[in-house]
Amino acid sequence: MTTRSPAPRSTPQLSFDELGTPLRDVSFVVLDLETTGGSNRTDAITEVGAVKVQGGDRVGELATLVDPGVTVPADVTRLTGITNAMLGTAPPIGAVLPSVLDFLSGSVLVAHNAPFDTGFLRAACERQERPWPRPPVLCTARLARAVLPRSECPSMRLGALAAHFGCATVPDHRALTDARATVEVLHHLLERIGNLGVQTLEELLGLLRDRAPHRPSTAQRRRRHLANDVPAAPGVYLFRAGDGEVLYVGTSGDLHRRVRSYFTAGERRRRVRDMLDRAEKVDTVVCAHPLEASVRELRLISAHKPRYNRRSRNPGRTWWVAPTDEIFPRLSVVASPRAGALGPFGSQRAATDVLDAALDAVPLRRCTVRIPARNPARNPSASPCALHELGRCAAPCAGLQSPDDYAPAVHAWRDLVGGRSDTPLRTLAAEVDARAGEGRFESAARARDRLAALASGLDRAGSLAGLAGLDEVVGARPDGRGGWQLAVLRHGRLAAAGNAPRGVRPMPVVEALRAGAQTVLPEPGPLRGAPAEEVRLLYRWLTEGGTRLVRSDPAWSEAVHGGGPWREWAERARDAATRTGERAPDEPPRP
């Protein structure tokens, strides 16, 4: 094995979350392999050549012959000049591979017809029982097809491209020479992508992921300057028209990088390009951390309803199952919460399904007849329906049930929604068991799914209502750098957000945030007036991702008889039924 030039200092392995690196800062390892043939399953590597470059400078080279362990075919020897005698003293791939992988570490792997070279390296790693490091891969053949018109260079072979660009190195089917020639071709191609608006590795790899890369539109090129003053910080960005109208709202952990990406060839969405035709300004709101950015995005979309945000068509639209305000209340699907409402649900269909399931468990009336408040027996337009004959309704509409006799059904609904009693769920579970015991498995499965839908709605409603009912909650999530992301919540809304970097005591920061936090006055309703989408977002942040509860006033608790255990039981039952074709043997939750 031979090496030339000093090896560069070690750099961290690139990840796709960090590919906003400017191209001048990216380390490329340009690789070429010679092999005994064309299949990585039956053939082996005979030579490795690699050149490491960064910022246009060559910083290291690696070259070695490799003993393939098999005879080199005569036609391959004629092509490459590599003979069996030359390979007799060469090291095997097991001795070469660690050096090759170390040379690749922290860099982008570049090759001409990259799938060929990466396929052989991956196969070698598998045979040597080494993990494939999964570096970002750049194929110069694909890049050439993306930026060179066929009329300019009909052939994308390495030799043809080297001749087209007048490269000093002529490819000769030897690994190091071909790698050096590929370096020159790569640099010429990178010069060509400037007019495509590609300035970072992320944009370059995104360009090659498109089957038919396009140049930026005229509007994109004309408005690139809008990203110039955008800060490289987490937050929210707003594209505005000349008259101040908000066209689009989004969030990013790096506002500058995200806004700049709209003006490159990687942005292909027709809707966004139409938006850029009208955009004249970009406003930003710098945020402490991603949670604050997400909340502010929700609020801005709700306030401005930007025409180019898909979610702005019905911002915050939710549905609820609520009792009507009548002497004999019934359940209805409404768009705004009331006292005793169950929700929120993302669609009217989901709310209707839960309403139907609830009526199987709670003996509230199903009819929509308006019953007079005075002397309901005198309702000449109503008569008992089929449900009365089946014993599923006491027919208050026909005066056969008094308000006092009907009241327990109303209380049962309120206790169910409030998590004070799960008796209606046990009624449904008993119905599931009864149908399954009679061998009516399809009917039992439908009843079980209705129970699962109702339990899921109760579980979600109880969790969100419990959070919205708290005067104040403080959460702290690790920021991944030894510090903390902090948030103060009041009645289901984000009231303050901040950071305690590594080395800074977090509790004084918490107290400062609490002192300056927004005052939130609770309103009537299950969520105390907070937007359902914001409460859901805050609940996920508090219960996932390693967030710690710093303070809760009053203590955060959820109902003992909520829908959580029943939802889990129904899911286990559904999974067991999928495996066995019958009902699950699990016992329902204990009272």
Residue 1 vs residues 51, 90, 109: alpha-carbon distances, Å: 14, 8, 20
Question: Would you say residue 492 has pLDDT above 60?
Answer: yes
Q: Are residues 197 and 132 in the same domain?
A: yes
Enter the DSSP assignment of 37. S
Q: How far apart (Å, rounded) are the C-alpha atoms in residues 239 and 221?
A: 16
Q: Are residues 269 and 185 in the same domain?
A: no
Asked whether residue 70 is domain-assigned, the answer is: yes
Per the prediction, the chain carries an average pLDDT of: 86
Residue 452, pLDDT score: 86
**Minimum mean pLDDT among 62-71, 208-217, 333-342, 549-558: which range?**
208-217
Residue 13, pLDDT score: 42
Q: Are residues 110 and 160 in the same domain?
A: yes
Asked whether residue 581 is domain-assigned, the answer is: no
Asked whether residue 95 is domain-assigned, the answer is: yes
Name the one residue in this structure whose structure tokens are 């070259």: 63
Instruction: Indicate the residue among 174, 204, 234 that finishes a domain.
Output: 204
- Residue 206 vs residue 109, higher pLDDT: 109
pLDDT in tens, 396-414: 877 788 888 889 999 999 9
Residue 542, pLDDT score: 96
Residue 196, pLDDT score: 65
Selection from 410, 408, 388 nearest residue 399 by Cα: 388
**Minimum mean pLDDT among 191-195, 443-447, 469-473: which range?**
191-195
Q: Which two structure tokens, joined as six digits, stand for 305?
A: 């309803």
Task: Quote the percentage of the chain above a pLDDT of 90.
Answer: 54
Residue 9, pLDDT score: 39
Q: Are residues 153 and 19 in the same domain?
A: yes
Q: How far apart (Å, rounded) are the C-alpha atoms in residues 330 and 326?
A: 8
What's the whole-number mean pLDDT along residues 314-335? 87
Q: Are residues 34 and 166 in the same domain?
A: yes
Q: Are residues 82 and 152 in the same domain?
A: yes
Band of pLDDT at residue 80, cut at 50, 70 and 90: very high
572, 564 in Cβ contact below 8 A?
A: no
**Minimum mean pLDDT among 107-121, 134-148, 217-231: which range?**
217-231
Residue 389, pLDDT score: 64
Question: Would you say residue 210 has pLDDT above 80?
Answer: no
Question: Would you say residue 316 has pLDDT above 70?
Answer: no
Band of pLDDT at residue 374, cut at 50, 70 and 90: low
Q: Which two structure tokens, joined as six digits, stand for 330?
A: 């019934």
Instruction: Indicate the residue among 520, 536, 553 that finishes a domain.
Output: 553
Q: How far apart (Å, rounded) are the C-alpha atoms in residues 591 and 586?
A: 15
Asked whether residue 120 is domain-assigned, the answer is: yes
Residue 580, pLDDT score: 53
User: What predicted TM-score, i.e. pTM, was given to this entire model?
Assistant: 0.66
Enter the DSSP assignment of 259. H
What's the whole-number mean pLDDT along residues 196-214? 67
Asked whether residue 148 is domain-assigned, the answer is: yes
CATH number at residue 272: 3.40.1440.10
Helix (H, G, I), strand (E, B) or coil at 264: coil
Q: Domain containing 285: what range?
A: 215-313
Q: Which residues contact 67 (CB under 8 A, 6 or more apart)?
A: 87, 88, 90, 91, 92, 93
Write down how long the chain is. Answer: 591
Within 10 A of 394 (CB to CB), how many other CB atoms are there? 19
Q: Are residues 40 and 162 in the same domain?
A: yes
Asked whether residue 191 is domain-assigned, the answer is: yes
Question: Would you say residue 11 has pLDDT above 70?
Answer: no
What are the DSSP calls for 320-352, one per residue? EEEE-SSSS-BEEEESS--TT-EEEESSHHHHH
Name the one residue in this structure whose structure tokens are 């097991």: 94
Q: Are residues 289 and 191 in the same domain?
A: no
Q: How far apart (Å, rounded) are the C-alpha atoms in residues 321 and 423?
A: 19
Within 10 A of 153 (CB to CB), how many other CB atoms are there? 16
167, 228 in Cβ contact below 8 A?
A: no
Question: Would you say residue 287 has pLDDT above 50?
Answer: yes
Q: Are residues 43 and 84 in the same domain?
A: yes
Q: How far apart (Å, rounded) are the C-alpha atoms in residues 35 and 44?
A: 5
Question: Would you say residue 79 has pLDDT above 50?
Answer: yes
Q: Are residues 176 and 308 in the same domain?
A: no
Asked whether residue 241 is domain-assigned, the answer is: yes
Q: Are residues 64 and 106 in the same domain?
A: yes
**Preceding omega of 98 cis (within 30 degrees of 0):** no
Q: Are residues 95 and 174 in the same domain?
A: yes
Task: Count the domains in the chain.
Answer: 3
CATH number at residue 19: 3.30.420.10
Asked whether residue 109 is domain-assigned, the answer is: yes
Instruction: Indicate the residue among 553, 568, 584 that finishes a domain.
Output: 553
What's the whole-number mean pLDDT along residues 328-337? 90
